[in-house]
Amino acid sequence: MDTTNKSNDYNEDIQSAQEEMVRPSFSESTSDTKPIEQSPTIARTVEELRRLSNVKYNLNTIQEGLNLAKGARGTTTIHED
């Protein structure tokens, strides 16, 4: 079985695909970009995410403390005389 023809066809397909691909050219001098303006909704969303992150941290801290207290209570023995 001769695989050279398949290999050549495959290579030609790759080369023609590469030739067809048009790459955009980027240049700082020719770019017409406007400064990104922050939307008030983005600022509010970021603020809300920070608040929720703090709430989650506080909840995890409280749960950890409760678990430690529960574990300590379960391991202590009460001596009744």
Q: Please check whether residue 21 lies inside any domain of the structure.
A: no
Q: Please check whether residue 45 lies inside any domain of the structure.
A: yes
Q: Please check whether residue 55 lies inside any domain of the structure.
A: yes
- The pTM assigned to this predicted structure is 0.40
Q: Please check whether residue 50 lies inside any domain of the structure.
A: yes
**Residue 16 — very low, low, confident or very high, per pLDDT cuts 50/70/90?**
low
Mean pLDDT of 28-45: 72
Q: Please check whether residue 11 lies inside any domain of the structure.
A: no
In order, the DSSP letters of 19-80 are HHPPPP---TTT---PPPPPPHHHHHHHHHHHHHHHHHHHHHHHHHHHHHHHHHHHH-----
**Residue 72 — very low, low, confident or very high, per pLDDT cuts 50/70/90?**
confident
**Domain of 60, in residue numbers:** 38-70
**Number of compact structural domains in the chain:** 1
**Residue 73 — very low, low, confident or very high, per pLDDT cuts 50/70/90?**
confident
Q: Please check whether residue 1 lies inside any domain of the structure.
A: no
Q: Please check whether residue 60 lies inside any domain of the structure.
A: yes
Q: Please check whether residue 59 lies inside any domain of the structure.
A: yes
